[in-house]
Chain A
């Protein structure tokens, strides 16, 4: 049997945000606040930096635009210059549409797969899933989890601390079923 961390339940979004502030002030770093929907102000409460996903999407969008414009230029100016109804070979205004569409397409891939990368998903095993009650988090429950590899982690202290800040149904995550 191994232990992976502690979870504690909170009543509503408000108490979860307050709990997040206290967990952060206590100096924990490997913790998370689970909720059925994103909670406004939670990033600040947990002390999270702004997501870097925007840079990934921007880079992907730029790549897509350059690829789209480059592809069209290469096809009609270099690879096979062909006179079609007298249009110029390098008809750059006509390239705007496909350049734009590929920019959007690449950005969308950047957004979705970048999100998956930053969130480390797909990941089908996680210690929080060892808890039976934790599954309510996708419906109506609000949980704080503190993981065992946090430098400040000490099981008894963490349990007491979570109790003090108003957590209920405190559970130690173990892989023993």
Chain B
């Protein structure tokens, strides 16, 4: 069998079985319409709520007591808070990549996972925004980030990457929310048309009176295309700007031009890991294996292989440039990463981000669901360690040995990090319960019947 025909058969497998427009609607809309919530959902929701209460409690104590409860010290002023911020923002990026970039490339397979991934983006960015917000210490003056006229006549320093970051991440959150909601409008109309009573009113309110006429689709499709078009440079800019928080400083190990592309590749890598974890759980709990198929997981694994190799290249290039620069501080920073007191963090990163994805060269592993589940979690552990390496290992030994120190997180660092999982999963589970987790309108576009030339003779 030639490669091409194999690929064609693959494409047909994106929606296997005898599915039609009706069955797709019933399968996807059936989940939020369930009368009885599955017991697994309640178990997960209970766990998420307990983590959320840890989050609320520990952030409350942080605001009361101050950032001294964290393990941050001099010289490691940026501890877990910034690691977690970068980690969560990075996870969000896969959502935008799937919904925007793959839409522009007309990759129809994304239609089964884009809603899912966009929702993940929204909650991941919320979790991310928490950290700079609480890291300022005096959270009640966090509005000083905004360029607001005030009685002191003070303005934010627009020449600082920290304020660029604020603008980038807030723009990213707002645009992601608009993109997500725009995609949801036709599906909300579907839920409205199938619901009764109060639910019909609520879904109907958010569906804005959508009636599926082509005079509406025409503008809708253009708006969606443009949102995809502007989200693409946006998502690349956001993590580049995050990386410039580091790269514009003079610290050896941070002051490198490779940071923007390297951060973006890592972000996409970890984000696909998270989409993989979530979709494997959701397709299992809700029996949606025929809509989110092994084919989709295989394609995500291929993207993880690509981006994993890109971060692997970046790691080796950093080492090469550190040596080639002839700068003793730069060289030391990198030797210290691999062989210094935090060597285990560096090698955990190398193992999870460089070694593990190499299995995805083989089709057998790309389609083995338990293996994918474990690796998708390892990927995110690895990407957390990457930020640990960048933030902690770089800061703890900079120029002068007299200024060196070790860094140890406290229980509050751990509690707030775990707590953000509560925030993330509470939001995500509520989404799974009340909104269609796959785009109903877009999933139908994968069916050959949706093409107006379907069944035409080719003469």
- A→B interface (CB under 8 Å): 12-14, 16-17, 20, 32-43, 46, 48, 51, 53-54, 57, 61, 71-72, 75-76, 79-80, 82, 84, 87, 91, 94-95, 97-98, 100-102, 104-105, 107-109, 111-112, 114-116, 118-119, 121-126, 128-129, 135-140, 145
The answer on a CB contact under 8 Å between A119 and B220 is: yes
On whether the beta carbons of B444 and A108 are closer than 8 Å, the reply is no
Query: B158 contacts the other chain (Cβ, under 8 Å)?
Result: yes
Contact B190 A100 (CB under 8 A): no
The answer to whether A126 touches B209, judged by C-beta atoms less than 8 angstroms apart, is: yes
Judging by beta carbons under 8 Å apart, are A128 and B211 in contact? yes
B286 close to chain A: CB less than 8 A: no
Smallest Cβ distance from B76 to chain A, in angstroms?
A: 22
Q: Which of B160, B222, B445 has the most CB of A within 10 A?
A: B222
What 10 A-B pairs come out closest when comparing CB atoms?
A115-B223, A32-B213, A140-B21, A135-B193, A139-B25, A122-B208, A38-B217, A138-B190, A97-B164, A72-B158
- Interface contact A53-B209, CB-CB below 8 Å: no
Q: Can you name 27 A-B residue pairings with CB atoms under 8 Å? A: A13-B452, A34-B211, A36-B186, A36-B441, A37-B444, A46-B214, A48-B218, A54-B226, A57-B226, A61-B230, A76-B155, A76-B158, A80-B155, A97-B237, A97-B244, A112-B227, A118-B219, A119-B215, A121-B210, A126-B209, A128-B211, A138-B25, A138-B192, A138-B210, A139-B22, A139-B193, A140-B25
The proximity string for B residues 283-303 relative to A, scoring 1 for CB distances below 8 Å and 0 otherwise, is 000000000000000000000
Across the interface, B147 reaches (CB within 8 A) one of A14, A71, A115, namely A71
Neighbouring A residues of B208 by C-beta, 8 Å: 116, 121-124
- What residues on A are CB-neighbors of B453 within 8 Å? 14
Which residues from chain B contact A145 at a C-beta distance below 8 Å? Answer: 213
What is the bound-complex CA distance between A37 and B155, given in angstroms? 48
B242 CB to nearest chain A CB (Å): 11
Known: A13-B454, A101-B168, A104-B230. A112 touches B213 (CB 8 A): no
Q: Assess whether B175 is in contact with A98, with CB atoms less than 8 Å apart.
A: no
Neighbour of B217 across the interface among A35, A97, A105, CB < 8 A: A35
Residues of B152-196 contacting chain A, CB below 8 A: 153-160, 163-164, 167-168, 171, 174-175, 178-179, 181-182, 186, 189-190, 192-194
B450 contacts chain A at the CB level, 8 A cutoff: yes
